[in-house]
Chain A
Amino acid sequence: MTERVDLEEPAAPGIELPQAPGGGPVVQEPLWRIRLRLLWKASRRNWRLFARNKIGLVGLGIILTFAVVALIHPVLMDRVWDPAIYHPVKGYDAPVAEYTVVEEVTDEFSELTLQEAQIRSNPFVRVGDVLSIAQQPAPPSRTHWLGTDPLGRDVLSQLMFSTRAAFLLGGIAAFVTVFIATTVGSIAAYYGGWIDSALMRFADLVLLVPLIPVLIVVGALFSLTLPLLGVLIGVLSGFGGTAIVLKSQALSVTVKPFVDAARVAGGSNRHIIFRHIIPNVVPLSFLYMMFTVTEAISLEATLSFLGLMNVQMSWGLMINVAHSQGYLLSGTSFWWLLIPAGMAVTLLAAAFFLAGRAMDEVVNPRLRRR
């Protein structure tokens, strides 16, 4: 794109330009500054298009909020929170709460029936006694804003810690996907012939792979860490569906006149692919980055919910702990065990999806509102 727009860009007014022998102005500004300025202009225009979609802005806002949360956590652990209590994996705290033993419970956070008090404290309590019982899991309080989990660990800290992991995973998966998909798509579109059909048949195959069952088996055979999972998702998505979409985009680029011009000017195949085709495919690939992140986040959460991931802490694992310790059917009285983690996965995945759809309107002019 850049090569072509250089010529369309008029020089800044008010500057006397030296004349070239042919009569046209000679641009003395270094090339990188022109490119930077064009980039700035293009991104401002794209931002205006993006900002028209309010839902997309909401998505972007949620992503930024999560990003801030992820960045704050290490600082909090370092400066504010005591690691012995607040560490997401190793921390432990069981806040003591006072309970009155009564005949009939009206407030379940400060009263206990006689029978339950005998089980949880000692068999000799009587109605009217006030007991101090360590709570585990503890409800939200001033020290633990989202309570503690069944093992006495701070839920908020776990939530924030897992955010970083989600971004890391999403980033790796998205980067690998886009890297592979743009390369594969551009090469298939540029060369055509048997290279094209081989790569596309392979993409068909990868598209067919039932991802979750395969990852379940891979998780059983190997130790699935976050970076490994990210690379796996990236490879499967990059050789599969994303490659097919990007190939069709690359195909529409290869028939443009500037590709012919580059070839006539003596550009090698590699030069044309990397300098002319890929830069024009990349905007669309950013879109698929977004969708890959959505997929990666929910896949990781699913796998760690099933207990097949080798991670210290993640949203799926938090739900797994709450579920396996039997807090599912206790309903809303232990809401902080299930709701925050599930909401976090859903919100972040939805945010990337919504931002992706808003971006879709930027890169696909056909979708813009009439």
Chain B
Amino acid sequence: MVKFISKRLVQMFLLFVIFLTVLFFLLEAQPGDLSQQYIGNPDIPPEAKAILAERLGLDQPLWGRYMSYMRNFFTGDLGVALSQYPTSVSSLIVERLPRTLVLFLSATLLAYYLGFVTGKVLAWRRGKATEYMLTLGGVGLYTVFYPWFALLMIWGLGFTLSNWLGLRVFPIGRFIDTNEWTGGPFTTNQVFSRMIWVAALSMIAAAVITFVARRRLEYPVAIRVRNYAFLGGVILPFAYFVFVASDMRPYALDILQHTMLPVLTLTLVAFAGIMLLTRSSMLETLREDYILTARAKGLSEKVIRDKHAARNALLPVVTSLVLALAFVISGGIITETIFSWPGIGRLLFDAVILEDIPLAMGALSIIAVLALIGHLIADILYMYLDPRIRYQ
């Protein structure tokens, strides 16, 4: 297993180097070179131009430029963001990364869980009216033009619903309400990182309790323990901000409120694809002989569905995590752009609009790293689920 993972790691590193190389040649191939773009820009001080020219090694031959590009990247020196001079690219990325991660992770997890459960039930009810309606709705959501859908969500849930209720349920766009934060005792990232830590720790605790319960306890008791553990895991972060860190509460609530609509939108679209996939995978599994055997044994429908069919139908769904990941990353970038959510995707888009090439390259590389890590996680998960791979 360790061998498998380390082999994958080496492969991924190579892939990443190739990706960076392609990026480099893309930069080289653009009309004019990087320094030319900034020569005429009066906003950039001359010393910055000199540093830029030296960093990019414009006096060197192609090979030298390539080497300095790679060296800069792997020493963590991503250069200076020209549109926000003199902030370094890496500090901008560090600031934005947690927000993007939260958006991606929560949307992926929610979409997977909901999609799998719905798809399972859909396949079980093949031919009923609910199946047709939900499948059609799923295809609609799956193929909907995503930016348009996000705009409709802003208009419908963010604007019309708020007007109608007279209450701002889903704020439109941005990460925080700046009016409430001016003069406040915390910075955004302080509150946000506290939120992430508390949520992550309570979720890990719930997972550990579930794991131990599965190993130690009888089956029905273990299920009950799991349910309580996850309920507790969800309630605990809220309780923390209500009782323990009550001075952060309004700020945390503000962030949470701004997070809901983007996450909901991205989840809905990613959910549809996973639901459709689970449905077709379940339909294939239901045709297997062991399902017939299970029926002949007189097992209850629910046990056949959840223990015999769904477990095996899960495999192709997990394989599609890689594809779903690509979907979530692309969708996440559009989400960030449309909801003005200051994450990596927004950073990339703004950098591109402002022609800030170092920042755009940095953001793109980080997105590629995220994709690679997701790929690795999918591989490990797959290995865990499919013993045929584990014991190769």
Interface residues of A (CB under 8 A from B): 55, 201, 204-205, 207-214, 216-222, 241, 294, 298, 301-302, 305-308, 315-316, 319, 323, 328-329, 331, 338, 341-342, 345-346, 349-350, 353-354, 366-367, 370
Do A302 and B143 touch across chains, with their CB atoms under 8 A apart?
no
- Is B252 located at the chain interface by the 8 A CB criterion? no
Provide the residues of chain A in CB contact with B140, threshold 8 Å. 346, 350
Provide the residues of chain A in CB contact with B148, threshold 8 Å. 305, 319, 338, 341-342, 345-346
Distance between A235 CB and nearest chain B CB, rounded to angstroms: 12
- Is B274 located at the chain interface by the 8 A CB criterion? no
Do A213 and B26 touch across chains, with their CB atoms under 8 A apart?
no
- Interface residues in B142-163 (C-beta closer than 8 Å to A): 142-149, 151-152, 154-155, 159-160
Do B371 and A216 touch across chains, with their CB atoms under 8 A apart?
no
Distance between A363 CB and nearest chain B CB, rounded to angstroms: 15
Q: Please, how many angstroms separate the alpha-carbon atoms of A348 and B337 in the complex?
A: 24
Q: Is chain A's binding surface mostly helix, strand, loop or mixed?
A: helix
**Which B-chain residue is minimally distant from A294 (CB atoms)?**
B143
25 A-B pairs in the complex with CB atoms less than 8 angstroms apart: A201-B11, A205-B15, A209-B19, A209-B368, A210-B368, A214-B364, A217-B348, A217-B352, A220-B360, A221-B29, A222-B31, A294-B143, A301-B145, A305-B147, A307-B353, A315-B145, A319-B148, A328-B151, A342-B145, A345-B148, A346-B143, A346-B145, A349-B143, A350-B144, A353-B143
Do B367 and A213 touch across chains, with their CB atoms under 8 A apart?
yes
User: With A219-B352, A221-B27, A302-B334 in contact, do A331 and B155 touch (Cβ < 8 Å)?
Assistant: yes
Provide the residues of chain B in CB contact with A315, threshold 8 Å. 145
From A214, A302, A329, A353, give the contact of B155 (CB < 8 A). A329
Provide the residues of chain B in CB contact with A345, threshold 8 Å. 145, 148
Q: Please, how many angstroms separate the alpha-carbon atoms of A209 and B136 in the complex?
A: 30
- Interface residues in B15-48 (C-beta closer than 8 Å to A): 15, 18-19, 23, 26-27, 29-31
Do B333 and A216 touch across chains, with their CB atoms under 8 A apart?
yes
**Which B-chain residue is minimally distant from A351 (CB atoms)?**
B143
- Interface residues in B292-343 (C-beta closer than 8 Å to A): 322-323, 326, 329-330, 333-334, 337
Q: Please, how many angstroms separate the alpha-carbon atoms of A207 and B15 in the complex?
A: 11
Do B159 and A308 touch across chains, with their CB atoms under 8 A apart?
no
From A217, A294, A301, A342, give the contact of B361 (CB < 8 A). A217
Do A205 and B18 touch across chains, with their CB atoms under 8 A apart?
yes
Q: Please, how many angstroms separate the alpha-carbon atoms of A212 and B143 in the complex?
A: 16
Do A319 and B147 touch across chains, with their CB atoms under 8 A apart?
yes
Provide the residues of chain A in CB contact with B136, threshold 8 Å. 55
Do B326 and A220 touch across chains, with their CB atoms under 8 A apart?
no
Do A302 and B147 touch across chains, with their CB atoms under 8 A apart?
yes
Q: Please, how many angstroms separate the alpha-carbon atoms of A350 and B140 in the complex?
A: 7
Do A213 and B155 touch across chains, with their CB atoms under 8 A apart?
no
Q: Please, how many angstroms separate the alpha-carbon atoms of A298 and B224 in the complex?
A: 44
- Is B121 located at the chain interface by the 8 A CB criterion? no
Please name 6 further chain A to chain B contacts, defined as beta carbons within 8 Å, in addition to the given A213-B330, A294-B143, A370-B287, sorted by A numbering: A205-B19, A208-B15, A217-B361, A220-B352, A345-B145, A366-B284
Give the top 8 A-B pairs by smallest Cβ distance, nearest first: A342-B148, A212-B330, A345-B145, A350-B143, A220-B352, A221-B30, A349-B143, A210-B329
Do B139 and A346 touch across chains, with their CB atoms under 8 A apart?
no
- Is B345 located at the chain interface by the 8 A CB criterion? yes
User: With A212-B334, A308-B352 in contact, do A329 and B30 touch (Cβ < 8 Å)?
Assistant: no
Q: Please, how many angstroms separate the alpha-carbon atoms of A196 and B368 in the complex?
A: 25
User: With A209-B19, A298-B145, A346-B144 in contact, do A306 and B154 touch (Cβ < 8 Å)?
Assistant: no
Provide the residues of chain A in CB contact with B334, threshold 8 Å. 212, 302, 306
Provide the residues of chain A in CB contact with B155, threshold 8 Å. 328-329, 331
Distance between A194 CB and nearest chain B CB, rounded to angstroms: 16
Quick one: which of A216, A222, A302 has the most chain B CB within 10 A?
A216
Distance between B5 CB and nearest chain A CB, rounded to angstroms: 16
**Which B-chain residue is minimally distant from A341 (CB atoms)?**
B148
Provide the residues of chain A in CB contact with B363, threshold 8 Å. 213
Do B143 and A323 touch across chains, with their CB atoms under 8 A apart?
no
Q: Please, how many angstroms separate the alpha-carbon atoms of A346 and B136 in the complex?
A: 13
Annotate B358-383 by CB proximity to A: 1 below 8 A, 0 otherwise: 00110110011001100100000000
- Is B95 located at the chain interface by the 8 A CB criterion? no
Q: Please, how many angstroms separate the alpha-carbon atoms of A319 and B149 in the complex?
A: 11
Do A218 and B26 touch across chains, with their CB atoms under 8 A apart?
yes
